[in-house]
Structure 1
Amino acid sequence: MKYNIDRLILFGGSRLLADCARYAKRSLPYELFVFSSKRHLDEVIPGEKLKLRKFLQKEHVKFYESEDINRDKSLPPLLTKKTLGIALGAAWVFEKNTVRRFQKNYFLDFMGIDLPRYRGGAHYTWMILNRNRGGCANLQVILGGKASLHRGPIIKRAEYPLPADLSKPVDFFNFMAQRELQFLRAFFREVKQGQDFRAKRLDERNSSYYPFLSTRDQGLIDWSWSASDIVLFISAFDDPYPGASTFLKNQRVFLKSCTLSSAEEFYHPFVAGIVIRKDAHSVYIAAPGGLLKVGRVLDETGKDFSDSVRLGDRLHTPIHILESAYMFRAEYSAKGLQR
């Protein structure tokens, strides 16, 4: 299929939407509109120090705040036979009636993950935990409805290895943002050149689903895990998130910038969580089979708490709190986390 476009509508939020909107406004010959949720419009864009709302205003991009895109009366008048819609981390599930307003195959979802292996949410957190180093970008036809979410055919796909030094979600975001914008720019070049895109169905034999996460509700450290698994866990909930957490006495603390440090001991599980050393920059905590070097210990307000940590203190997460974390299921709407 070939695309003939006169209008582009971006749906969602994130740094990629901001980058794509700026590129489209400055370099593409299409009318441009953005639909976003309040949650996304009020998020600060990494690298810009502006909330998405202010960014779009600065770039003179016409945007709409929508609580429910499927009931939003502002959308239908904007749709023409040549309108292309692209969702980039949208907060809504597009219903079939909304999808039918577009020409066939003119409503696409950008997914910067390996489909169908990483359906769901919190993609980079799960990839860090699973030691996955495969980068991927897809443009996927939106079929509409929850049952078909992320199951549409792929019209464009790229795969690439991820650098070994990516350790935190923010590292993934920063690296992916550049590759993903390159991917989208290549797509628009191909459209201009009249490329005939061929839709390819996903191989469901390789599918998997990972649920959305809430760092404050689920990022609790289990000190019975091995030292290497704890390092992965702390890294997976590091910036831009609040950090993996545990307790020092009755104070909840958040750990960031964690690596494995060389140790002369192979620590027994009973030693897990004990602060055995401190220096001017780090706190060293024993864990089963290894030693954690933690660069940042924060309180619940995000302020440095390292000075309050004493040698011999034990960090611990009560079992009932761990059980609550395992049982919690994070669900999000356009307004944010649902309680």
Structure 2
Amino acid sequence: MLKFPKKDKIQFALLGSGYDLCNISNILLKQEFKKPIIVTHSKKFHSRDKKLMQNTERDIDIFSYSKENKIKLIEEDNINSPKLIKKLLDFGVNVIFSHACRSIIKKEFLNSFQNLVLNIHPSFLPEERGAATYSWRILNNQKFVAATIHQIDERIDSGPILFQKKKILSKKELVVPLDYDMKTTKMYESVFEDFLKKIQKNQKITTIKQNEKNSSYLPRLYTEINGAIDFDWSTDQIERFVRAFSYPYPGAFTFINKQKICILECFIEKSKIKNHPFIAGRVSKKFSDGSIRIITNNGFIRITKIRVKNEIIDPVQIIKINDVLFTPRNFLDKSRMTTISVKNMK
């Protein structure tokens, strides 16, 4: 059981970044809690997320948001810094809430706030600990969204659970990672409001230990390295792979005539034809709508949008019939073997 301070005594600090962290802050403001303190990584490390979310409704600048709402914001790359801990304690912080925080929080930090340090994670823990949740879910052909509030311990997403919810949705509702992201926001709102109801009633909150037998861990993915398409895969596997690295990401990639192209949109064309693997990746037809058809091991895929040198174009603009989409083995091997640190993502 966890006991939290009363509503008028509670001072939240929010660790992390992004739309959902700002949305959690908005919920606190709407329900007349004290203004939270926001702790985020250095501005220079926000550039990738800013670029990915540009021109979407989730494009929010946490620095501008904090200034507009007169919320104290601290830039800090070392969450476990004794100086940061002291600063937060001096501000009267007694409950920490994390989302998209880049650091693994250590024991000294946890103890400084009596272990009232929580995280909100986009899965039904203990399943899908780790990162790149939505991309992995598409790859694994899983059509649901979820959210879990859990107490943070010194490991990754493994602490006791306070609240969690899960909702099954259709493929039409969940096409690319951005769809999962937007639908998960509603789940976050729901579990966070359940949490705040307990606070407002001054009730203790029951925690449930995670069942390690059911746990799974997903490594971080970096599209520019991990998004290499292998045309030896089945039609369905290629189509899911393309969706997994599509919006808001730059797109799964391959090469044509030594030119790197990223595939953003495609769909499967049903066929009973079983093609020999030797011909997989070859362009068999161009269409008046700008799309192309490529041959796969067990059918066809229609490619409708690609990205070349950061420009989104129709495939027919650079691809001809009988061209072959092909990913060299060194790119495929690197894709499978590499996990890149979030700080090295540009």
State the TM-score, normalizing by the size of structure 1: 0.91
CA RMSD of superposed structures (Å) = 2.0
Describe the shift of the 1:129–1:67 C-alpha distance in structure 2 as closer, same or farther (beyond 3 A): same
Q: Work out whether 1:160 is the aligned partner of 2:167.
A: yes
Describe the shift of the 1:126–1:99 C-alpha distance in structure 2 as closer, same or farther (beyond 3 A): same
Q: Work out whether 1:295 is the aligned partner of 2:304.
A: yes
- 1:51 shift after superposition: 2.5
Write the deviation string for residues 9-32 of structure 1: whole angstroms up to 9, x where unpaired: 110112210211222233332231
Residue number in structure 1 paired with 2:129: 119
Describe the shift of the 1:323–1:136 C-alpha distance in structure 2 as closer, same or farther (beyond 3 A): same
- AA at the equivalent of 2:32: L
- 1:48 shift after superposition: 4.6
- AA at the equivalent of 1:29: F
Write the deviation string for residues 105-147 of structure 1: whole angstroms up to 9, x where unpaired: x111111112122112111111111112233211111123xxx
Work out the CA distance in 2 between the residues paired with 1:111 and 1:183: 11
Describe the shift of the 1:72–1:301 C-alpha distance in structure 2 as closer, same or farther (beyond 3 A): farther
Sequence identity (%): 23
- The alignment partner of 1:91 has SS state of coil
Work out the CA distance in 2 between the residues paired with 1:81 and 1:155: 24
- 1:41 shift after superposition: 4.3
* Contact in 1 for aligned 2:146/2:184 (Cα 8 Å): no
- The alignment partner of 1:55 has SS state of helix
Work out the CA distance in 2 between the residues paired with 1:142 and 1:223: 41
State how 1:1-339 maps to structure 2 within 5 Å. Answer: 1-4=2-5, 5=7, 6-38=10-42, 41-42=46-47, 43-44=49-50, 46-71=56-81, 73-79=83-89, 83-104=94-115, 106-144=116-154, 148-165=155-172, 166-263=174-271, 265-279=273-287, 280-304=289-313, 306=315, 307-333=317-343, 336-337=344-345
Work out the CA distance in 1 between the residues paired with 2:337 and 2:163: 37
- 1:175 shift after superposition: 0.9
Question: How many aligned residue pairs are there?
Answer: 332
Q: Which runs of 5+ in 1 are unaligned?
A: none
Work out the CA distance in 1 between the residues paired with 2:25 and 2:151: 20
- The alignment partner of 2:311 has SS state of coil
- 1:328 shift after superposition: 1.4
State the TM-score, normalizing by the size of structure 2: 0.89
* Contact in 2 for aligned 1:85/1:107 (Cα 8 Å): yes
Describe the shift of the 1:75–1:286 C-alpha distance in structure 2 as closer, same or farther (beyond 3 A): same
